[in-house]
Amino acid sequence: MKRIALLISGGGSNMVKLVESMTGDHPARAVIVGSNDPAAGGLAKATAMGVSTFAIDHRNYKGDRAAFEAALLQPLLAAEPDILCLAGFMRILTPAFVQKFEGRMLNIHPSLLPKYPGLHTHQRAIDAGDPEAGASVHLVTPELDAGPILGQARVPVLPGDTADTLAARVLIQEHRLYPEVLRRFALGDQTPILLTAA
């Protein structure tokens, strides 16, 4: 049984779907949920699902990224995770941190990578007049939003879309994609998955 740690920064809707997926004959179980924000709404959701949680407030480590990551690592490693899932985690991690989990650390990014790494992905797709947008689950490497892609979900960009309406459409697909990618990854299958909107 693979042990999964998840990191969130906010509501954690992706984390919830991942934790909910890890039941029955699923080859993995969530063992801990952590956040850089003690007020992250997802922490209460994780507790309600019976998963241990922790929070390391990054604001207590102003400008000292290495110290923040050292504090984050402590409860994380104590849970002895096999796989680390970033799910709406909004802090950039240093190469030193990434290297501790390289090859077993996943992230979901709300664009069809390699397009639009970084922020404001939906607005950028709308501004570019892209006919499609979506989300990508990828292995995390030291370069931001650049690791091997394990899965993508595509949705149409519709006339009149705003960043919010597009984000909502993409989020529905994220909630399908990430659990499917994690299940296969936990079984050692890294064959990329492509989902199109149902």
Catalytic machinery residues: 109
- Helices 41-48 & 13-21 angle (0-180, nearest 10): 20
Per CB under 6 A, the list member of 93, 135, 149, 166 interacting with ligand GRF is 135
**174 binds ligand GRF per the rule CB under 6 A:** yes
* Order of all β-strands in the sheet with 132-139: 53-55, 28-35, 2-8, 83-86, 105-109, 132-139, 149-156, 193-196
Distance of alpha carbon 37 from alpha carbon 55, whole angstroms: 6
CA distance 41 to 159: 32
Cα 56-7-169 angle, rounded to 5 deg: 130
By beta-carbon proximity to ligand GRF, the closer residue of 161 and 174 is 174
- Which of the residues 70 through 89 are near ligand GRF (CB under 6 A)? 87-88
Least Cβ distance, residue 164 to ligand GRF (angstroms): 11
Does 108 sit near ligand GRF (CB under 6 A)? yes
Q: Does 118 bind ligand GRF (CB under 6 A)?
A: no
Q: Which stretch binds ligand GRF (CB under 6 A): 6-14, 143-151, 155-163, 181-189?
A: 6-14
Rule CB under 6 A: say whether 152 interacts with ligand GRF: no
Binding site for ligand GRF (CB under 6 A): 8, 10-15, 87-88, 108, 110, 135, 167, 171, 174
